[in-house]
Chain A
Amino acid sequence: MVETILNRTQMLGRATLDGFARLGRASLFLLEVLSNLGGMLKRPGLLIKQLFSVGVQTLIIIVVAGLFVGMVMALQSYYALVDFGAENSVSVMVVLSLLRELGPVITALLFAGRAGSALTAEIGLMKTTEQLSGMEMMAVNPIERIVAPRFLAGVIAMPLLAAIFSAVGVMGGYLVAVELLGLDAGAFWSQAQENVELIDDLGNGMIKSLVFGVVVSWIAVFEGYDCIPTSEGLGQATTRTVVYGSLAILVLDFVLTALMFGK
């Protein structure tokens, strides 16, 4: 009995220590990636290639999701607002929720699923097939050559994707509100312009998506680089990227919202 309790307690202690050790490794890894970002100046081609696979190839899902999220937002807020005769505020509702929350958050969630998992799988497979050690053997720094361009591409792509998501979402909202529900086009834009602040809403939304970009890219490249080099470990690492990435986004979103809009 006592032995079981001791064993359980030891397991708990080990799990905690492992968790902290991983967090420490991840932080040191981030520092190393950041200190190797300068290498990109010598080889901008690497970054462009990653921007293509991380940014351009995520574009389709972002545009489609943004369009439909904007359209649904317009429909639902119309339903709620028409009772108060405030249906012209549909645009405020759509634009504000897209810029402040939905744009950055849904973009980051989709990004974690679409691009983050791909980054982890790619780097993890390189590790599993010992390509990374091969590079080290040839005196090529794999962090500078492989990890840093992918990390930076994620950080750059995220705010751009979030901006595209919000813009397409606003147009989707416009389509539903003006073409389908018959609201006035002029009122749609003037209400939005009246109530949306450039710095407070658009600027803070962009800061959010930049933070999400850093966190998701960090988790993705770290999970790939730190994965257990077996096919099973690779699968687990990819799952962890999506799970940890999504959770980190949602928790950070609350923290950032409380800091930015919680006055």
Chain B
Amino acid sequence: MNTRTLELMVGLFVAAGIAALFMLAMSASNLSSYGGDEGYTVKARFDNIGGLKTRSPVSAGGVRIGRVTEIGYDMAGYEAWVTMSIDPQYDAFPIDTSASILTSGLLGEQYVGLEPGAEDEYLASGSVITLTQSALVLEQIIGQFLYSKGDE
């Protein structure tokens, strides 16, 4: 085999490998919705975060606008802290925006849903969302239901 064909084949091989990587990155992974980390971060306090995890989606009106970056527990207030990063193009949420932990579908993953408020000031990096609603824990709901049934 002469050098030209050999080099051509190797070139094709390397190109095919890079094309395969590119294809995997573009169509089979979340590169297209990859916002990077340049979003601004907002914190919220919850009594109970249920099954929320880091990298869970943050959405408003059903549209994904960011993701949860950090979850911690505050020993001073006995509350869970959720830090989320919101994509920079969604920078005009009023400061009285409320956050609730919702479940997609009956058994789906949990996410943070933002409900915009009405104030003129906007959330900025480091803001804290004060109006929050905890996750619905199935066992508690069933427990309350049985309790109320027992009263009847």
Contacts and interface: CB of A to CB of B under 8 A. Distances in A.
Contact of B13 (A51, A189, A202): A51
Interface in A212-259: none
A55 B6 contact: no
B17 A95 contact: no
A52 interface: yes
A197 B27 CA distance: 11
A99 B20 CA distance: 12
A192 B30 CA distance: 8
Contacts of B30: 193-198
A164 B14 CA distance: 10
A50 to B, nearest CB: 9
Given A193-B28, A198-B25, A163 B10 contact: no
A52 to B, nearest CB: 5
Contact of B10 (A51, A161, A166, A189): A51
Contact of A163 (B6, B12, B21, B27): B21
A12 B85 CA distance: 59
Interface of B: 3, 6-7, 9-10, 12-14, 16-21, 23-25, 27-34, 55
Nearest 8 CB-CB pairings of A with B? A160-B17, A167-B20, A163-B20, A196-B29, A163-B21, A164-B20, A56-B13, A198-B29
Nearest to B6: A52
A194 B64 CA distance: 11
Interface of A: 45, 48-49, 51-52, 55-56, 59, 91, 95, 99, 157, 159-161, 163-164, 166-168, 170, 189, 192-198, 201-202, 206
20 contacts: A48-B7, A51-B13, A51-B14, A55-B10, A56-B12, A99-B28, A160-B16, A160-B21, A163-B21, A163-B24, A164-B17, A164-B20, A167-B23, A168-B20, A170-B23, A189-B27, A193-B28, A193-B33, A198-B34, A201-B29
B10 A48 contact: yes
Given A163-B17, A202-B21, A202-B24, 9 more contacts: A48-B7, A52-B6, A59-B13, A99-B24, A163-B20, A167-B24, A189-B28, A197-B30, A201-B29
